[in-house]
Chain A
Amino acid sequence: MTWLSPILLLLVTWLAIFLQTGLMPLRELLGAPPNLVPALVVYAAFTHGLAMVTALTLTAGLWIDSLSGSRLGTGVAPLFGLGFLLHTRQHLLLREQRYAQFWLGFAGGIGVPLAHAGILALGADEPALGWFTVRQMLSLGLLNGLACPAIFLLFDRLRAVFEYQPSGPGPYISNREMKRGRH
C-alpha cells in the first residue's frame, strides 16, 4: 500500500490549492491567500523520495500558477528548491520534534512566496510588494508553522493505518545466542 501516501498527498495538495481560491474570512485575517503547500512540501521532503518531491512541487507549482496571475512555471522553482534542500539535508535536520516541524514550516511559509516574488521581479512582472508584505509573510509563516506538525501527525497516522508496519522483536533474544565452533 506504499502508493497510497503519494496519492493522498497529491489529493490533499489539490484540495488545499482549491481552498486557497476561497476562504474569504481566513484570507482577510491573514491578509493573503491561505497557502499550505510549503508545509506539505516539508512533509514530503522528509517522508518520500526525490521523485515524489519533484512530482509534488511540479504539480503544485503549475496548479497555483494556472489559477493565478503569475506566468506558468514561475511557482515551481521555489517549491522545488525547498523540497530539494530539505530532502538532501534531512540527515542534519530534526524530523520528529514538533518545534522543529514548526520552524521548518515557518521558514517554508515565508521563503517560498518571497522566492516566487523574486523570480517574478526578475521578469517583466510587477508583484504587489509594500509594507503590507511584512504582515503577509509573518501570517503565512505562522500558518505553515502551525500546519506543519498537524500534517506530520495526520499523515503519519494515516500511514500507520494503511501501510504494512515493520514486525516487532520476536521471541528470539540475540544476546543469548550460542556461538558454535572456534572463535
Chain B
Amino acid sequence: MFLLLVLLNLPAPASARLKLAVGGFFLPLFGLASSAHSFVDEASYQLLPRQTLIREVRRLESENTQLRIQSAQGNDAIAENNRIRTQLGLLPRGTWNPRPARIVGRDPSTWWRTLLIDHGARDGARLNQPVITAEGLVGRIAVVGHSHSQVALIGDSACGVAVLVVETRDQGIVKGPQSTVESGIVELSTFQHSPQILAGHTVVTSGDGGIFPKGLPVGKIIDTRAANAGLFTTARIRLGANLNRLEEVWVLEQ
C-alpha cells in the first residue's frame, strides 16, 4: 500500500522514467517478435518469382522519377514561399523529415489508444513529434524511451488535434474519449455553428497548437449535427489512416 502511494505521488518525469524501466521487461519479447516478423518477410521475398520482382523494381523506378520531379517543383515553391515570408517579416516554415518506424505493440489497457513503436531517443525521437502514414495522421509521441516510444493515437484523450475543414475553412478540435478508435471514427467539435460542413468534406490539421504541421490529412466527414442548442457543430470523421491495420508509420522530425 505504501509502495503504491509512493508510485502514485511520483512527479511526472520520474514516473515516466520508472514506467520505461518497468516496460524494459518486455524488450526481449518485442525484439523476438520483431525478428520473427523480419524473418517471415525475408522468407516471403525469397519465394517471390524473379519476374514479379523485376516488374516491381521497374514500377518503383518509374514512381521514383515522378516523385523526384514533383519534389523539385515542390522545393522551388518552398524556396519562393520562404522568400515571400521573409519579405513580409514572417518566420520561414520549418521542413519536416519523415523517419520510418515499425509498430511493435498496442495498448494492453482497455482505456487508452496508444501504440508502441521501435523508434526511441537513440533514433532521434522527441516528445510530441507527429506520427503519420501516407493516408493520414496517426497521433503524436507521448513517451520517449531509449529504443522505443509510445504514440498517443488520434481520438485518445492525450492527443487533441486542431483541424480545419478544407472546403469551408471551419476550424475545430478532434479529441477523445467519446469515440472508439477501433471503428476508425473520431469526433470533431467546431468553435461555432457551421451548417455548411457536409458529408464528404476533407479534414486536415490546422497547424494551431504547434505540435502538428498545417495540412496533414486527417479524414473525411461522415455526418454532422448541431450541439449545445445550435451553438456548435459536431461532426463524425472517418480517419484516413486505418489504425487497426498499421504496421509501419512515419515519425516527422523537424
Contacts and interface: CB of A to CB of B under 8 A. Distances in A.
A14 to B, nearest CB: 7
Nearest to B14: A72
Contacts of A24: 106, 244
A40 B142 CA distance: 30
A66 interface: yes
Contact of A33 (B20, B30, B108): B108
Contact of B109 (A28, A62, A68, A126): A68
A70 B108 CA distance: 10
A65 to B, nearest CB: 7
In which size bucket is the chain A interface? 35 or more
Contact of A69 (B4, B20, B107): B107
Interface residues of B, number: 42
A103 interface: no
Contact of B157 (A64, A77, A128): A128
Nearest to A132: B180
Contacts of B112: 68-70, 127-128
Contact of B22 (A18, A62, A129): A62
A157 interface: no
Contacts of A82: none
A57 B157 CA distance: 27
A27 interface: yes
A127 B182 CA distance: 15
Interface stretch (A113-121, A144-152, A160-168, A174-182): A113-121
B156 A67 contact: no
A126 B177 contact: yes
A148 B190 CA distance: 47
Nearest to B6: A73
Given A22-B105, A128-B180, A66 B19 contact: yes
23 contacts: A17-B108, A18-B26, A18-B29, A21-B108, A22-B33, A31-B182, A32-B110, A33-B109, A63-B22, A66-B23, A66-B25, A66-B26, A67-B23, A67-B108, A68-B112, A69-B111, A69-B112, A116-B110, A116-B111, A128-B112, A128-B177, A130-B177, A130-B180
